[in-house]
Amino acid sequence: METPTITNTGDSIRIELDESLYPKDAIYGASYIFIDRCYVHLDRPSASRISVTLKPKPGLDPKLEDLAGEFENELLGQAWRRLITEENRQLIQQVSTLALTGSAGAPGLDELMDADIGDDTAFEDPLGIAMSWEEKYKKKGPEKDPEAKPGDAK
């Protein structure tokens, strides 16, 4: 494994990394952090190496060596987070599954009706609470005599 090589070109800094030491997704993650203040160019000079060129955007005047140091620190942070995620993947999946299962909400009425509770007394309604709104508040008109003919007065 080789250490990163840093080349100062005057207006940009080029950092060449060994991919066996720094995973590609960690390099991409660290590069992404710098896109707000630098133009970032990724290249592959050889099969196992990746180079990152950082060129400060106009209006910003950071020291290029400081920029390289910040990039290397971010790269270590990205590699560390990747390692933690891989080691805890099963736990993360279990917690995510439980969270998503809970967000589905309580079972609906169909699921409750299909549930085998065993005793039908759970669905008795002696107070008439389960009566539908339409049934409870329907308009009551004058009662009609079924024997009455149209036009007959009461």
Q: What is the CATH number of the domain that holds 78?
A: 3.30.70.60
What's the pLDDT at 4?
81
What's the pLDDT at 126?
72
What's the pLDDT at 134?
81
Determine, yes or no, domain membership for 47: yes
Q: How many domains does the chain have?
A: 1
- Prediction pTM value: 0.58
Q: Which of 73, 16, 64, 19 is nearest to 38 (CA)?
A: 64
What's the pLDDT at 112?
62
What's the pLDDT at 8?
86
What is the residue range of 29's domain? 5-92
What's the pLDDT at 131?
77
Per-residue pLDDT reduced to its tens digit, 61-80: 778 889 999 999 999 999 99
Determine, yes or no, domain membership for 14: yes
Determine, yes or no, domain membership for 106: no
- Rounded to whole angstroms, how far apart are CA atoms 30 and 77? 8
List the chain residues with pLDDT less than 50: none
